[in-house]
Amino acid sequence: MADFNPKEKKILYRAFRITAAILIVMLAAALIFCMFDLPGLFSPDHPGENIVAERYIESGIEETGAVNFVAGMILDYRAFDTFGESNVLFAATICVMVLLLVQDQSKSRVRRKRSKKNGTVNSDQTTVSESQTSFEQLPESKAYYEDLRDEREIEPRLIKNDVILKTIAKFAVPFILMFGVYVILNGHLSPGGGFSGGAIVGSGFILASVAFGFDKMERFLNRKSAGIITFVSLLVYCLAKSYSFFTGANHLESGIPLGTPGAILSSGLILILNICVGFVVACTMYSFFSLMRRGKI
């Protein structure tokens, strides 16, 4: 890259800013023009009011068995798109793991070599941090903190949890989790479903981990269990939908009973898929938080 002196740099920045502003104004003008040109949303001749929407509304309930049209649409009519969407979440989790997962130094060859090059070999450090269980036992030497590659390793232990937070969380978390489960399980009957319910459950987990600490959360939601839950849910989703796609495309009967619309056990695969999506979303939310907070799940 060419080097510029400060004066040239200033001029370039200004030119860049002005060009960016002009482009944004042009884009905004084009979009505002489009907005006025588009057909009115509630007019009867809106192009969206066509055979597609008609069939979703008129025969959606008997064809999918779901009273909630939206659930029927996203999990039965257009299930391939939703399958893609849940894989977007999966891909995002993986990328956050790639970025934020803190390595166990004793296991990683690449990392060890790099630190050797820098001249800092800290072999006893992992054993020290493993033995740390509470705030009081932290060593006070400054060198210990400087040795840590990542401040996330130490930070969560430094926080003394607030009594108000703990007390409120003790009451709120069960209700949050229960509400989330309700939204997931009733996804085919009422507004909601796997994505929204999973987000509620995930936020409940996050609140619990903030209030009671990660050590307690790890008893039931650690890297292994979160991994297994995500894997099994996505696998069930993938296999169930593959079966449904395959039978549908080859004009075979799927043999999955739809049940009576409105009952909790109805609408064929939608209930199972909602549960799977709920699990995936809840684990994703919690693992994002945990990875960003302390570098591991």
Partner 1 sequence: MDFVLNFPFFSIMICMLAALSTFMLGRRAAAVVAKLALLITLVLSVILTVYLHGTGESFVYMMGHFPAPWGNEIRAGELEGVMAIFTCVIALLSLIAGKYSIRTEIDDTKQNLYYLITCLMEASLLALIYTNDIFTGYVFIEINTIAGCGLIMIRNTGRSIAAAIRYMVVSLVGSGLFLIGTTLLYSITGHLLMQNINESVAALAADGSYSVTLTIITALMTVGLAIKSGLFPFHLWIPDAYAISVTPSSAMLSGMVSKGYIFLLIKLIYRVIGFDVYSSTGVFDLIFIAGIIAMIMGSVAAIRSGYLRRMTAYSSVSQIGYIFMGIGIANSAGAVAAIFHIITHGLTKSLLFIAASSFTGRKEDIRVSDLKGLGHKYPVSAATFTAAALSIIGFPLFAGFIAKMLLANASFDCGWRMYAAIGAIAVSTILNVVYFFKCIINLYAFGGFEEEKKDTEGSTAEETADESVKATACVDNEDRPTKYENALHGICAAVLAIINLYIGLAPGLLSDIITKGLNVF
Min CB(214)–partner 1 separation in Å = 19
Min CB(160)–partner 1 separation in Å = 32
Min CB(286)–partner 1 separation in Å = 17
d(CA 96, CA 109): 21
Q: What DSSP state is assigned to residue 160? A: P
Min CB(69)–partner 1 separation in Å = 12
Measured CA to CA in angstroms, residue 144 lies from 115, 122, 132, 149, 294 at distances of 16, 10, 12, 10, 17
90 forms part of the interface with partner 1 (CB under 8 A): yes
DSSP track, 66-127: -SSHHHHIIIIITHHHHHHHHHHHHHHHHHHHHHHPPP-TTT-HHHHHHHHHHT---SSHHH
Q: Which one of residues 128, 154, 185, 238 is an interface residue with partner 1 (CB under 8 A)?
A: 238
Amino acid at 23: L
Amino acid at 194: G
Min CB(13)–partner 1 separation in Å = 16
| Binding letters toward partner 1, positions 125-164, x by CB under 8 A | ----------------------------------------
7 forms part of the interface with partner 1 (CB under 8 A): no
User: Is the CB of residue 93 less than 8 Å from the CB of residue 87?
Assistant: no
d(CA 101, CA 90): 15
List interacting residues with partner 1 (CB under 8 A).
30-31, 33-34, 37-39, 46-52, 55-56, 63, 76-81, 84-85, 87-88, 90-92, 94-95, 97-99, 101, 103-104, 107-111, 113, 116, 227-228, 230-231, 234-235, 238, 242, 244-251, 254
